[in-house]
Structure 1
Amino acid sequence: MLAAVDGDALDQAVGAYLTTRNTAGTASGKRQVIAVDGKSLRGSARLSAGRRHLLSAVTHHRALTLAQAEVGTKTNETAHFQPLLEPLDLNGALVTFDALHSVQANVTWLVETKNAHYIAMIKRDQPTAYRQLAALPWPDIAVQHTAYSAGHGRREPRSIKTCGIADALGGIAFSHGRLALRVHRRRNQTGGCESRESVYAVTSLDANHITPAELAAAVRGHWAVEALHYVRDVTYAEDASIFHTGTAPRAMATFRNLAVGLLKTLGAVNNAKTTRAIRDQPERALPLRGITNNPDAQGTWSSPARTARPETRPRYFSRTPATRYPSRRRGQAPQVPCLRGGPMVRPSCSSMALQRAAKVHRSMRYGAVLPVRTEQS
């Protein structure tokens, strides 16, 4: 069925829904920042066909996918840049993208047609613009903002400098460029050497419209789309998916975007933990759609007979290795609730006893009654 779904219609419906949720949750007066980037579906490749490639527009704030399109291969991303953003309301928004999309026609369309702004990364594949940016008097300009981050065994301070581009002096060879940026990164790896990197960018915003701190946050925030890709790959195993027929790979990617976006708009901090909680107790997903679990007169799913389930599993069934069998580390057997409402019983710590405890727990969840073998018996 998924192979026959209209991928464009599905992406438009999900994008419109997430756009509505994003508009409702966006703070008034705050500029919307959107990142454009592509992602390959590695599991969709076959001997007769290459992997599918999707281009997405994702918000920086909560990583909501507002638009998505299938582009065939990575080299086709540039041609799909304008059709992807055409349905979106970008009035006053700031769009970020990597050097692949730093194309004169695309940035001109953004500013003149969509009334939006951009931050374009400039690399050596545009020699004229790159040479002009590198030749600016950066040593004479003081650092205007510095941010620090630490994690994954490294410390990374990032500083930014800005320089106005005067049209009267010739400007630079990039459409609607008003402000030049130089971002300097120093990465200190624990037990390793320090690496340094300087990157250049151009924005259509003037210095009186945005602060250096906001520019630095927008450049750094572009990695929100990479974080979304990581969640789809690790939490939802997107690259391991073997869907490859018709529009099934694209439809599954759209459903993953919908799941991530829905949890983000509801304030989920840890997407993986929330997903596991819903997997273990599917009834937790109903309030996300506004469905309560109160029993009604018609005897729906939320009747007391079906909702009388334990709120949590026994601790030793935890998926986290650090909390698995916590009582065994204290030299005690794990405790299992008695089905008949009696006191807690302590099965032996042998493997067969633990298997028996698992059967007891499953019987509790689905209403069966199994005898409990204790140490005394």
Structure 2
Amino acid sequence: MPQASDYRVILSNFALFLPVHHFPEYWHRLSQPDLWSIGTSINYVKYQHKQVVDVCIPSAEALLVNPFTIRSTLVFWATEMSVTKGANLMSYLREVDDPRKPSNGTLHDFVEMLVIAVAAALSDCDTVEDIAYWARAKEAWLRKFLLLTNGVPSEETFLRVFRVLDPKQFERAFRRWVGGIVGALSGNIAVDGKTVRGSGSGNETAIHMVSAFATDLGIVLGQEKVSGKSNEITAIPELLEALYLKGFLVSIDAMGCQKKIAARITDQGGDYLLAVKGNQPTLLEAIETAFIDQHQSEGVDRQHAVQKGHGRIVGQIASVLPAQGIVHLADWPACKTIGRIDSLRKVADKESELERRYYICSRVLSAEQLAAAARAHWGVENRLHWILDVSFGEDGSTIRKDNAPQNLSLLKKIVLNIIRLDTTNKTKASLRLKRKAAAWDDDLRMNMLGLSRR
């Protein structure tokens, strides 16, 4: 029987009007509400105290966080959500099928292995060898939460499981966990790719991961594996399809500047900010011409900024124009703004370098908002890719076989999210130090993972 701590918690002052025949398909109630009455066409449920419900289908999950847009028959009052990060994650991990064949004999519980891997990775373990060694060292602590009927798994067992674990199922559980956390929020999502260099060797091509990164929270929302950067175009729509985009501004570099991708974002209730380069020559020329023609016009909104530091000076001018009436933009879904950012970089005694970037956006943006959104997108390099390389040693990993590189990449992103979402550690320590703190402090680790004693 699932435990209450495994599920989403709905706080008090929550009311729902719902057609009678729809209620069972949306939620299975694990506890009775204080008031339950049935009318001729609606169920009325009011939660005076904390109650627990299990989301049964994806549309119900979206309904909880976005009640006013899914069905006109629904009304929510003062809805508030509280998700216990660790426990909620563990409940989603139970949805992943055990990939091992029963006929081969299985000594260790599959979900317990995933829990150990997450706890170890949170505790500054970057390799499968680290995970297995940590599990042996912390076996007594792990037994407070897990059965460990046959002790802790070996390095070979962990590696074998990560090689055969279905990455699609692992990714789906990850997205559902994150979706429950960020669904009620809005902000910017940066979509960008990174090659996991250590996953390639000889004739084997290194895998390339396209990630969706919520820039405000600093967490990963999802990832898709592709064989190389040139294939990002096919991976991006698949990644976006599985995400909750309503209210978010999705930024993508020029590789993703495609009409189908723009349509995917707007169809899901989001807005796009797409970089425009030579892969869209007609569009690029139309935007360049518009800014030349309107150079002195009062219709151009501009923002000037100067940044100094690390021996360099960067001056930036962001400019925006309404997209209405500009040739070749009519075919781009709901395009409302075109933008240009000029960056002049001066480093010590070197010659100044000018870089000019163009954008299209389905949202009306000011120059200041464009500059902020562009900075947020560029930040994915330092706040995600660099962190994965330096703090998690992703590029140094020599694991290359089967599904292991993709699954271990996702494991690192799970830990990154747990740390970025953690409210138990109030210090402003670096992510590296927070992982070490989780390794040193058993109570801190327990709280960050949301574990409860058996």
Instruction: Confirm or deny a common fold (TM above 0.5).
Output: yes
Cα distance between partner residues in 2 of 1:45 and 1:283? 38
Cα shift at 1:22: 2.8
Cα distance between partner residues in 2 of 1:260 and 1:118? 25
Equivalent position to 2:210, from 37, 55, 75: 55
1:314-339 CA distance string (max 9 Å, x none): xxxxxxxxxxxxxxxxxxxxxxxxxx
Q: Is the 8 A contact 1:243 1:249 kept in 2?
A: yes
Equivalent position to 2:392, from 209, 214, 236: 236
1:278-323 CA distance string (max 9 Å, x none): 334455312212358xxx9xxx9xxxxxxxxxxxxxxxxxxxxxxx
Cα distance between partner residues in 1 of 2:306 and 2:183? 30
Cα shift at 1:135: 1.1
Q: Is the 8 A contact 1:129 1:174 kept in 2?
A: no
Q: Is the 8 A contact 1:122 1:130 kept in 2?
A: yes
Cα shift at 1:138: 4.6
Cα distance between partner residues in 1 of 2:273 and 2:433? 34
Q: Is the 8 A contact 1:91 1:116 kept in 2?
A: yes
Query: Could you say which residue in structure 1 is the equivalent of 2:17?
Result: none
Cα shift at 1:155: 2.5
Q: Is the 8 A contact 1:15 1:65 kept in 2?
A: no
Structure 1, unaligned stretches of length 5 or more? 301-377
Tell me: CA distance 1:23–1:149, structure 2 relative to 1, closer, same or farther (3 Å).
Answer: farther
Tell me: CA distance 1:226–1:98, structure 2 relative to 1, closer, same or farther (3 Å).
Answer: same
Amino acid at match of 1:178: K
Query: Could you say which residue in structure 2 is the equivalent of 1:288?
Result: 448
Amino acid at match of 2:433: K
Q: Is the 8 A contact 2:316 2:343 kept in 1?
A: yes
Equivalent position to 1:89, from 233, 244, 247: 244
Query: Could you say which residue in structure 2 is the equivalent of 1:180?
Result: 338
Cα distance between partner residues in 2 of 1:128 and 1:83? 26
Cα distance between partner residues in 1 of 2:408 and 2:294? 47
Cα shift at 1:205: 1.3
Count of residue pairs brought into register by the alignment? 284
Cα distance between partner residues in 2 of 1:36 and 1:58? 6
Query: Could you say which residue in structure 1 is the equivalent of 2:170?
Result: 10
1:318-370 CA distance string (max 9 Å, x none): xxxxxxxxxxxxxxxxxxxxxxxxxxxxxxxxxxxxxxxxxxxxxxxxxxxxx
Structure 2, unaligned stretches of length 5 or more? 1-160
Query: Could you say which residue in structure 1 is the equivalent of 2:283?
Result: 129
Equivalent position to 1:272, from 432, 436, 439: 432
Tell me: CA distance 1:147–1:20, structure 2 relative to 1, closer, same or farther (3 Å).
Answer: farther
1:189 aligns with 2:347: yes
Equivalent position to 2:358, from 157, 175, 200: 200
1:154 aligns with 2:296: no
1:69 aligns with 2:229: no
Query: Could you say which residue in structure 1 is the equivalent of 2:148?
Result: none
Query: Could you say which residue in structure 2 is the equivalent of 1:117?
Result: 271
Cα shift at 1:180: 0.9
Tell me: CA distance 1:151–1:279, structure 2 relative to 1, closer, same or farther (3 Å).
Answer: farther
Cα shift at 1:223: 1.9
Q: What is the RMSD of the two structures over their aligned residues, measured on CA atoms?
A: 2.3
1:144 aligns with 2:298: no
Superposed, 1:311-330 pairs within 5 Å as: none
Secondary structure, in 3 states, of the residue corresponding to 2:190? strand
Query: Could you say which residue in structure 2 is the equivalent of 1:361?
Result: none
Query: Could you say which residue in structure 2 is the equivalent of 1:253?
Result: 409
Cα distance between partner residues in 2 of 1:146 and 1:157? 8
Q: Percent identity?
A: 24
TM-score (norm 2): 0.58
